[in-house]
């Protein structure tokens, strides 16, 4: 074990050892629920990780992989470098770490969802087809189609006394998060002012 500790604390590995300790500590905090690995990482952000080809996944994931691979490569290179100078081992460890991280980021990126989570409020402004016999201020359902082609049956209510029956078309103009329903108005009324 003494040889391992000596190798971990010798150049060039010693440069990556404190960073690896921070990475391990960070992931322990994540596991116990003290941190969110996706905090502060938006899919559309352009930054140094995107420039290096490591974007598209949360920054802590990319950086953790990069640091871990650099540490292991510098540890192995430091032990088996032969006539190669140690500064060259450090540069080679960084290159190997970047290549391996880039290769792993590609499949990880495909596993992660694109864009923000879908919300019922995304339906506001879309037209729907009433599916119940009538819509009142306390009852009604309608079918709405999202831009991605999916459809949903949603609860709808109207503030007025318009004749909204099964098969009629209406506009979802507001969402009530407390009651979990949409306010609707007939499309002919909604388009009169246009």
**101 and 131 inside one domain:** no
**94 and 140 inside one domain:** no
pLDDT for res 44? 46
pTM over 0.85: no
**9 and 65 inside one domain:** yes
Range of lowest pLDDT (16-20, 54-58, 62-66, 184-188): 54-58
**Is a pLDDT exceeding 70 seen at residue 7?**
yes
**84 and 106 inside one domain:** yes
Domain termination site, one of 63, 82, 111: 111
The mean pLDDT of 80-105, rounded to a whole number, is: 90
**Is a pLDDT exceeding 90 seen at residue 65?**
yes
**80 and 17 inside one domain:** yes
What is the band of 119 on the pLDDT scale with cuts at 50, 70, 90?
Answer: confident
**9 and 28 inside one domain:** yes
- The residue range of the domain holding 17 is 2-111
Pick the more confident residue, 104 or 79: 104
Confirm if 12 and 91 have CB atoms less than 8 A apart: no
**Is a pLDDT exceeding 90 seen at residue 9?**
no
**Is a pLDDT exceeding 70 seen at residue 117?**
no
* Number of neighbouring beta carbons within 10 Å of residue 77: 21
**83 and 105 inside one domain:** yes
**102 and 152 inside one domain:** no
Domain termination site, one of 93, 111, 129: 111
**97 and 60 inside one domain:** yes
**58 and 8 inside one domain:** yes
CA distance 112 to 118: 14
**Is a pLDDT exceeding 90 seen at residue 82?**
no
The mean pLDDT of 35-61, rounded to a whole number, is: 74
CA distance 152 to 177: 17
Domain termination site, one of 60, 76, 111: 111
CA distance 64 to 97: 11
What is the band of 191 on the pLDDT scale with cuts at 50, 70, 90?
Answer: low
* Number of neighbouring beta carbons within 10 Å of residue 64: 21
Tokens of 121: 């409020």
Domain holding 145: CATH number?
2.40.50.140
What is the band of 118 on the pLDDT scale with cuts at 50, 70, 90?
Answer: low
pLDDT for res 143? 95
By DSSP bridging, strand 151-157 and strand 181-186 are parallel
């Amino acid at each position: 074990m003494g040889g391992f500790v000596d190798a971990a604390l010798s150049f060039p590995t010693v440069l990556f050892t404190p960073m690896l300790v921070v990475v391990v500590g960070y992931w322990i905090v994540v596991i116990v629920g003290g941190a969110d690995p996706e905090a502060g990482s938006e899919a559309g952000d352009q930054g140094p990780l995107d420039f290096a080809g490591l974007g598209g996944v949360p920054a802590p994931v990319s950086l953790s992989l990069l640091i871990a691979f650099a540490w292991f490569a510098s540890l192995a290179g430091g032990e088996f470098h032969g006539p190669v100078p140690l500064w060259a081992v450090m540069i080679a460890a960084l290159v190997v770490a970047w290549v391996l991280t880039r290769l792993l980021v590609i499949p990880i990126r495909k596993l992660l969802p694109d864009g923000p989570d879908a919300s019922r409020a995304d339906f506001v402004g879309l037209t729907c087809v009433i599916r119940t016999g009538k819509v009142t201020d306390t009852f009604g359902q309608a079918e709405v189609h999202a831009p991605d082609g999916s459809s949903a049956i949603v609860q709808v209510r109207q503030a007025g006394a318009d004749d909204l029956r099964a098969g009629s078309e209406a506009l979802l103009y507001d969402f009530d998060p407390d009651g979990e329903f949409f306010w609707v108005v007939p499309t002919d009324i909604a388009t009169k002012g246009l």
